[in-house]
Structure 1
Amino acid sequence: MRLPAWLKLVLLILFATAVQAVFAHRLRFHGVQPDFNKVVLICIAVNTSVHVATAYGFLSGWLMGSVVGMSVGSYLISRMMLGALLGLLELRVFRHNPIVLIFSALTGSMLCEAVFFLFSPQQNVGRWVSLAVGESLYNLVFVVPVSAWVRRILPPSTGLSYTS
């Protein structure tokens, strides 16, 4: 039995959330740990349409908020916005370029953290900024391999065809 691509991506987000909950604290480096759930969402959002990316953003935020046990709404909104904004890249940007992937992962991760901060403010803003920047840079280590994995799951796209 062959699983549909959408179910494989749901299972990938579930797996990333489980890895985040169990193993991410062991990869802590100078107080910063990667966010595997966000990395998988970024890779899915860059490779899918805006509607699909927003739906996976909802799932990602709901799972992460449920695991953490606080600020579920902040996780929902920040991850849905991340998925929607990165899903919009299909309209204007060639998404399969690794430089675009890295740039969108860095800016998307920072934007997600900024939106989360707006809905769930922290007391020490300076520490939050340093952790957000550190996490965004740490996530870059995992973005390219996870994106290759996501592209293997997704069916090949026909792409845009230009006629003159």
Structure 2
Amino acid sequence: MRQFTSIIVCGLLFFLAGVLQFSAMPRIDIWGAHPDLLLVVAYSLAVLVRPGQGALAGFVSGMLIGGISGATLTHYILSRTVVGYALGMTSQMEPGIRAAAGLVAAGTLVGQLILMFLAPPSGIGVFLKVTILEALLNGAIAIPVFALLRRVVRPKVV
């Protein structure tokens, strides 16, 4: 029953992140960078689960962002699945909230660099500046998201 509840909560969180990503996040502009809530949810979840499940979280995030925005799915799915798998490898260390925020920020950087090589943008300098700012924003947003997901996915046994 606990696993079913975790799946439902994670699905609802992905849905909510997708809705907010395309309704509210374009209005939040910090020096040209916009937080990526789907990425934050996927990578925060990937830090908590096994590598295969982390890859699945990255896949779902890439599928949603590519499908909703109308972009080529391959680039988003591949970059986010690879990073989700890599972050899933860190779940054995059971990172704390600060470490998870750093991992989400680093995952954002790596994922965007993979995306840059798969689909090169027109202005690489601007893209890198925005990527660094986005990584910092995503790391900050990951703190409450990770805390929520940790309570749902890995409850403490008394």
| Partner deviation per Cα, 1:3-36 (whole Å, 9 max, x = no partner) | 5211221221121011101100111112111000
Q: 1 CA distance for matches of 2:67 and 2:156?
A: 33
**Residue 17 of structure 1 contacts residue 36 of structure 1 at CA under 8 Å; is this kept in 2?**
yes
Q: Which amino acid aligns with 1:63?
A: L
* Counterpart AA for 2:55: T
**Which residue number corresponds to residue 161 of structure 1?**
none
Structure 2 counterpart of 1:121, one-letter code: P
Please give the secondary structure, in 2, of the residue aligned with 1:53.
helix
Q: Deviations over 1:37-59 (max 9, x none)?
A: 00111110111111111111111
**Unaligned ranges ≥5, structure 2:** none
Report if aligned partners of 1:55, 1:80 keep a CA contact under 8 Å in 2.
yes
Computing the radius of gyration from Cα coordinates, the structure with the larger value is 1
- Tell me by how many angstroms 1:109 deviates: 0.7
Contact residue 43 and residue 143 of structure 1 kept, 8 A: yes
**1:68 counterpart residue number:** 69
Deviation at 1:157, TM superposition (A): 6.9
Q: Is the 8 A contact 2:97 2:143 kept in 1?
A: yes
Deviations 1:64-98, CA, capped at 9 Å, x for gaps: 1011111211110011012101000024x332x23
TM-score for the superposition, normalised by structure 2: 0.91
Computed over aligned residues only, the root mean square deviation of the Cα atoms, in angstroms, reads: 1.8
Q: 3-state DSSP class of the match of 2:122? A: coil
Q: Deviations over 1:118-145 (max 9, x none)?
A: 1111111101100100111111221110
Distance 2:114 2:11 in 1: 24
Work out whether residues 97 and 147 of structure 2, in 8 Å CA contact, stay in contact via their aligned partners in 1.
no
TM-score, with length taken from structure 1: 0.88
User: Where does structure 1 differ by over 4 angstroms across 4 or more consecutive aligned residues?
Assistant: none
Q: Which has the higher helix share?
A: 2
Q: Percent identity?
A: 25
Task: State the alpha-carbon separation in 1 of the partners of residues 103 and 154 from structure 2.
Answer: 22
Any unmatched runs of 5+ in structure 1? 159-164
* Aligned equivalent of 1:156: 155
